[in-house]
A and B are shown apart, each in its own frame.
Chain A
Amino acid sequence: MHAQEVRRLAALHALGTLDTPADEAFDRLTALAAELFNTPVALVSLVDAERQWFKSRHGLEPSSTPREWSFCAHAIEMGTHAVMVVEDASIDPRFASNPLVTGHPDIRFYTGAVLTTRDGENIGTLCVIDSKPRARPSDAELARLELLARIVVDKFELVRTTRLAREKHRLLELAETTSGVGNWRYRLADGAVTWSDEVYRLHGVDRASFNPGYDDAVAFYHPDDQATVNEAIASAIATKAHSEFQLRIIRRDGEQRDVVAKAICELDDAGEVLAVFGIFQDITTQIRTLKAVQQSEKRYRLLADNMSDVITRMRLDGGSDYISPGIEQLLGYQPGEMTGRPAQAFVHVEDQAMIVQALSQMAKGTERLSLQHRAAHKDGHAVWVETGFQLVRDAEGKPVEIVAVIRDITDRKAMENALRAAQAEAEAAANVKAEFLANMSHELRTPLTAVLGFARLVEEQPELADTTRAYLGKVSNAGKALLSTVNDILDFSKLEAGQVEVKPQPISVGQLAMDTLDLFSAQTAEKGLSLTATGLDLLPGLVRADPDRLRQVLMNLIGNAVKFTEKGAISLEVSFDPQAQRLTFGVSDSGPGIPADRVDRLFQRFSQIDGGSTRRHGGTGLGLAICKGLVEAMGGEIAVESRLGEGARFWFWLPASALASRTADTTPVTTAGGLRGARVLLADDNPFNRELVCALLTPFGVEITEAADGLQAVELASRQPFDAILMDRRMPRLNGAGAARRIRDEDGLNAAIPIIAFSADPGQDDPPGLFDAVIAKPLTIDALVGGLAKALAWQGEGALDAAA
């Protein structure tokens, strides 16, 4: 589209009149034009892109026609304020075939004055039309039509200005409502007061029911503030300057609000005051917020000023801007003495470097740090404090200052020291206790050794009377009971000190279980209890476990069961889980059971079910605590399940690796007596051979220590006494003969004990005086047990018959 046409259409649309309802002002103008020219039709026609639309039409029905039929479209091409005259359209080549000429309304005569806006755009015409040809009107008539056209344009402009003013007003109202700022005006001439809607709203009244006068307006103010309002207005008028006041009003609903009003004088051309106008704003919320902030700041200040912790604000270089008054209490300085000076000046000389480093770290962006250090009191002494530094950043995130909270931790330090001292004291006390127990052990065992030993001596006398033998048996049993109590106490103190040493070795669990049960057979027979073991035949021949510890736990549990069960049965079940390589033992009884609320305490020291039980059944109350300690030391767990009146079952498991599938019961029992308790060192590089020897000897109660080669055997023999050494001839690092030679020659603990060689080649010559015996491989039970028993009979030069 042509640029000029674009501008023209923009101007037309800007008028905002297209398709608006009819307007009497325009209709009067068209009626006047028709009257002046004595035509049946007069129109105000606006030429749009596609059509001509009639803002006013006198004597014509359609409200618009297509633009290509339009006469006016031709007229507006003629220039600004032009007037186009067509005397007879039927003979005018431009219009002869125009449907408006050939058909209704049969136009013949047309005269249109162009409507030209102030900006020079031709937007349409004011035209008169007749269906009969007519002569050209006179120039005076045409000038009149042009004048009317100008009036039409003026009217358009007026309508548009009114509309714009109305829009602006609405916008203002919207702004007032949104911002809470209203406007007012007080005209001096007649004292009229006008309020904007917002001012009404702020006073809590509405325009319909309230019409403010000056006095009415002033009356809204708080009684104490009304004089101030009058003075402010009067002073504004007197000085012709503006004035501002912030006061309280009382709204119609009774609520007091804080408001601010600004007044400006409106002057006439002569400089006299016509009116005072201004804005009016409710600032209650802002005032409240401000007061809250002030209050909050006051509170924090109060807090900082009265807190025992010291708060200080420092610049990044460490100089302080603020120090709370608590500093006087802490370091003896007035806050004023310290502000501006570097923080490290008030730190103990040995801790200054730490503080300087901390501050430089903070300045580099570390968010927070906490340090314990000594501060320097004004009088010179050190004060232990804990300082928490916190970095403060500005809105852009740049570090601006450091806030530090300094807390006196003198008491805490003192408490820490006291605790440390108490701990040291407790440790010392524990040592004293351990020493006391060791001494007590000696003091108790020595007489017990005599009691038990002499009782044995007397028992060996053949000529004792039965009663004497019975009394002696009681002495002996009492002695043993006392010994076991002493052992309990010592075991427990050892467990507590973590000094229990677990020594796993190949053992026959079945044998151990049977031996342990045997110890109780007399007691259970006396009480008429049945005592049985199950699962023993399913156990592997040998497992690796500590026999002494295991026996101790079993004796405790079975002993308890026997002690507390008056009738019924006690059973021991043992099982081995080859998958998990663990042994599980259960000791069940038909005793009184344990109340549920006591079960948890059962394994604690000194706990029996009740004090009465201790008196009735005796015991130290340490047994189960010792069991728990021992089982845990062996890497297992112990637990109990019981119900009152339904007996109890104590069970525990411990890790144990199976060594052989042989069971112990195939071992011959000949000559076995001399082997119990014998300490034997077994040196063989082949683990299967060692396992076999263990399997064969352990059931006889032989304690075996294993060495994997000759060097290890020599090393072990130098450290602990053995009763015999079993030595394979062929071993890596140091062979059997070499190891035996060194053990003999080093004149150590085991220089004189029997050393027995294993050999696949027994015919081989050994140096004399090295081995006491040679056992041929492959090993047989008889050869091994017989050979060892013979060696341990201490035959040879200087030895005695131990069996004597």
Chain B
Amino acid sequence: MLPRDARKPRIFVAEDDRDVLDLILTRLTLAGYMTAHARDGHEALRGIAAARPAGIILDINMPNLDGFGVLERLSAAAPAGPKTPVMVLTARHAPDDVQRALSMGARDFLTKPFQDAQLLARVARLIRARPAPASGQPVLV
């Protein structure tokens, strides 16, 4: 187990299936992330507001309020301000769901079942900061 580091960004995971939730949380923790989680949409909205995560992993199919509902309220809550990047989790055979989520503000998607490296690469991509204007000349390879 890697030691926890308070400086590592926090990832919020909203997933109703307890096993999949545990799996993702374990993987993220092993990779050094801090985590927070919720098991339905309403709980997720409250948790996100409290935890101020760097990124959100959001399952589409959830009880009470599904992923689309969460996306809708997140963008309503911050119509113009900075948005926390969201990656949605979908079943493999739902390309329409992916398009819909992207159009509602999600930054990326991940299809279940996924591989560990894929999960971590996508999370890293999700929370990558834009190159700052002050960061100087690009690297010449």
Contact = CB atoms under 8 A, between A and B. Distances in A.
Nearest to A794: B124
Nearest to B23: A453
A771 B91 contact: no
B50 interface: no
Contact of A773 (B118, B136, B140): B140
Nearest to B22: A450
A449 B136 contact: no
A723 B125 contact: yes
Contacts of B135: 768-769, 796-797
A463 to B, nearest CB: 14
Contact of A762 (B32, B136, B140): B140
A723 B110 CA distance: 13
B4 interface: no
Contact of A786 (B32, B129, B141): B141
A447 B17 contact: yes
A756 B26 CA distance: 33
A804 B54 contact: no
B100 interface: no
Interface stretch (A365-373, A591-599, A655-663, A745-753): A745-753
B92 A752 contact: no
A613 interface: no
Contact of B113 (A452, A753, A804): A452
Interface in A483-526: 483, 487, 490, 494, 501
Nearest to B60: A442
B32 A800 contact: yes
Given A449-B20, A450-B23, A456-B116, A766 B129 contact: no
Contacts, number: 151
A721 B128 contact: no
Nearest to B24: A453
Contacts of A794: 121, 124-125, 128
Given A438-B94, A442-B61, A769-B133, A802 B124 contact: yes
B141 A438 contact: no
A770 interface: yes
A774 interface: yes
A783 B114 CA distance: 30
A494 B140 contact: no
A227 to B, nearest CB: 103
A445 to B, nearest CB: 5
Contact of B139 (A441, A721, A773, A802): A773
B19 A447 contact: yes
Contacts of B128: 752-753, 794, 796, 798-799
B105 to A, nearest CB: 10
Interface in A752-791: 752-753, 756-757, 762, 765-776, 783, 786-787, 790
B57 interface: no
Interface in B90-141: 91-95, 102, 107-109, 112-114, 116-118, 120-121, 124-125, 127-141
A442 B140 contact: no
Given A454-B23, A766-B138, A804-B32, A797 B94 contact: no
Given A454-B23, A804-B2, A774 B140 contact: yes
A574 to B, nearest CB: 28
A482 B140 CA distance: 48
Contact of B92 (A445, A768, A774): A445
Interface residues of A, number: 58
A457 B26 contact: yes
A802 B120 contact: yes
Contacts of B112: 442, 445-446, 449
Given A773-B139, A774-B140, A483 B113 contact: yes
Contacts of B47: none
A786 B135 CA distance: 21
B132 A769 contact: yes
Interface in B28-42: 31-33
B92 to A, nearest CB: 7
A775 B121 contact: no
A22 B76 CA distance: 143
B52 interface: no
A276 to B, nearest CB: 108
A772 B137 CA distance: 8
Interface string A446-481: 111110111011000000000000000000000000
A744 interface: yes
A719 interface: yes
A800 B31 contact: yes
Contact of A797 (B32, B113, B132): B132
Given A450-B22, A794-B125, A804-B32, A445 B138 contact: no
B73 interface: no
B9 interface: yes
A720 interface: yes
Contact of A720 (B20, B102, B117): B102
Interface centre among A446, A483, A766, A798 (most CB of B within 10 A): A446
Contacts of B94: 438, 441
B129 A798 contact: yes
Nearest to A748: B107
A677 interface: yes
Nearest to A447: B19
Interface string A720-742: 11010000000000000000000
A798 B19 contact: no
A449 B23 contact: yes
Interface centre among B22, B93, B108, B134 (most CB of A within 10 A): B93
12 contacts: A446-B19, A449-B113, A453-B23, A453-B27, A752-B129, A766-B138, A773-B141, A774-B139, A794-B125, A797-B132, A798-B9, A798-B128
Given A449-B112, A749-B108, A800-B124, 8 more contacts: A438-B91, A441-B93, A449-B20, A450-B22, A720-B102, A774-B140, A798-B9, A799-B127
Instruction: Give me the 10 closest cross-chain CB pairs, A-B, nearest first.
Output: A450-B19, A453-B23, A787-B141, A769-B133, A449-B113, A794-B124, A771-B138, A798-B129, A721-B108, A769-B131
Interface of B: 2, 8-9, 17, 19-20, 22-23, 26-27, 31-33, 54, 61, 85, 91-95, 102, 107-109, 112-114, 116-118, 120-121, 124-125, 127-141
